[in-house]
Each structure stands twice: as C-alpha cells, then as structure tokens.
Chains A and B, each alone.
Chain A
Amino acid sequence: AQRVTQPEKLLSVFKGAPVELKCNYSYSGSPELFWYVQYSRQRLQLLLRHISRESIKGFTADLNKGETSFHLKKPFAQEEDSAMYYCALRKGSSNTGKLIFGQGTTLQVKP
C-alpha cells in the first residue's frame, strides 16, 4: 500500500543549526513527492516538488529511490522556519492523482 512516514512529530533545533526532516515512502510506481509547509495561522502551502530539483527558502530535498526517502534539508535554520511540515506522495496520474500525506513534523527553531 502507498504510505508516507514522517518518523518525528517534533524537531527542535537552535538557530543556525542544520535541519533534516525525514520522510520515507512506499509506492510501487514511479513516485512524485512534495513538501508542504504550514506556518502558524496560515494555509498549507507547497514548499517544493522533487521533480523541480529546486531550492526554496534555503530548503532542498533529494529523492533517494534506493532508500525510498525524500528528506528535507536546510544547512542553517532560521526562526522563521518554525512551522508544521508535511511530506506528500502523488498517487495516480498527473491529471487525476491524489496526494497522500505523512503525519507531519513540527519544526521548532529556537533563538
């Protein structure tokens, strides 16, 4: 079955420290993965997609098919990065696909 697992409910780091939010998935097809972020009192919004291979707000994520992982990384955390982060997997075609979300990880960046 398709599944997305985020093993950490809470990740707490100090400002300037490296951050890695873990995401593992199980999917029999060719996966398409996303990271979404929800800042306090704001809507859930797309942070980045693996097919874009982009860096957004200093965050990057590499798809590792061998380890079935899509960890989100940032070399130097900022206080404004504090938020809830969700990893998501697209299930189905690009036209009709649905997103399956992980349990979410709260990132807390302390001053």
Chain B
Amino acid sequence: DVKVTQSSRYLVKRTGEKVFLECVQDMDHENMFWYRQDPGLGLRLIYFSYDVKMKEKGDIPEGYSVSREKKERFSLILESASTNQTSMYLCASRPGQGTFYGYTFGSGTRLTVV
C-alpha cells in the first residue's frame, strides 16, 4: 500500500546534465515537499508546494527548481547537475487542512553525480 512513490531508487548522472526526480502521491494531499538527506546535516528542505502550480523555496533552493502541474505529482529538477548535489532526495506529502499529523515520506532517490 505505497502512498508516496519516487520513480527511481538510484540514479547516476553526469555533471551538467538536467535531472528530473519524480514523486507521486495517491492520498489527495495538497502539500508536497522535497528534502535532501545528508549524513551529519539531517534533512534540509529544498522546495515545497501547497497546491497545484504553487511553489515556494525552502532553505536550500539554489541549483534546483520544481514543477507541480497536477495535484498528485511533484517534480524536482536539477537544471545542471553538479557533484555537490550527490545526495539522497526525499519526497513527502501531507494534507493541507486540519491538525498537523506529520508527513508521509517516499522511499528516497539516491542520486550520484559524476
């Protein structure tokens, strides 16, 4: 009963490539988030979206952009991949209304930029 699906578990890309990381949720959640997870740094918020076609920068947006054309899909784009973007990327979603119950996370995409 997978709720948040990230399309790739592992990716290897070359420096300078444009990279798309896809995330789909089937819970009709309004809010979606992209984090990167690095040892010793925890999870850092890259971008988030409160609704379709809406996006806001998180704490480390440089070098990234996002797209949310449909409610269930939130894409993270690395315009020109660099080696310092090698990381684990986590997508999460949550409902937009009511009590804050926390996020549902995807299983992550481990991206290596060579």
Number of A-B contacts (CB under 8 A): 56
**Contact assessment for A98 and B48 in the assembled complex, using a CB-CB cutoff below 8 Å:** yes
Residue A46 lies at the interface, judged by CB distance under 8 Å to chain B: yes
Q: Tell me how far the C-beta of B3 lies from the nearest C-beta in chain A, rounded to whole angstroms.
A: 9
A20: chain B residues at CB < 8 Å are none
Interface string of A55-98 (1 = CB under 8 A from B): 00000000000000000000000000000001000100011111
Once A43-B107, A44-B105, A45-B105 are accepted as A-B contacts, the answer to whether A94 and B100 lie under 8 Å apart by CB is yes
| A46 and B96 contacting across the interface, CB-CB below 8 Å | no
Interface of B is mostly: loop
> Residue B43 at the A interface, CB < 8 A?
yes
User: Which residues of chain B come closer than 8 Å to A34, judged between CB atoms?
Assistant: 102
Are A101 and B103 interface neighbours, CB within 8 A? no
Q: Which of B43, B50, B58, B106 contacts A96 (CB 8 A)?
A: B50
Task: Check if B89 is an interface residue, CB within 8 A of chain A.
Answer: no
Is B40 in contact with A103, judged by CB distance below 8 angstroms?
yes
CB atoms of A95 and B96 under 8 A apart: yes
Q: When A96-B50, A98-B33 are in contact, do A44 and B90 touch as well, CB less than 8 Å? A: yes
Report whether A43 and B106 are in contact in the complex, using a CB–CB cutoff of 8 Å.
Answer: yes
Q: Give chain B interface residues in 1-44, CB to chain A under 8 Å.
A: 31, 33, 35, 39-44
Pairs A–B under 8 Å by Cβ, sample size 7: A36-B102, A44-B105, A95-B98, A99-B45, A101-B35, A101-B44, A103-B41
**6 further interface pairs, Cβ-Cβ under 8 Å (given A9-B40, A46-B103, A99-B43):** A34-B102, A44-B90, A96-B31, A96-B50, A102-B42, A104-B42
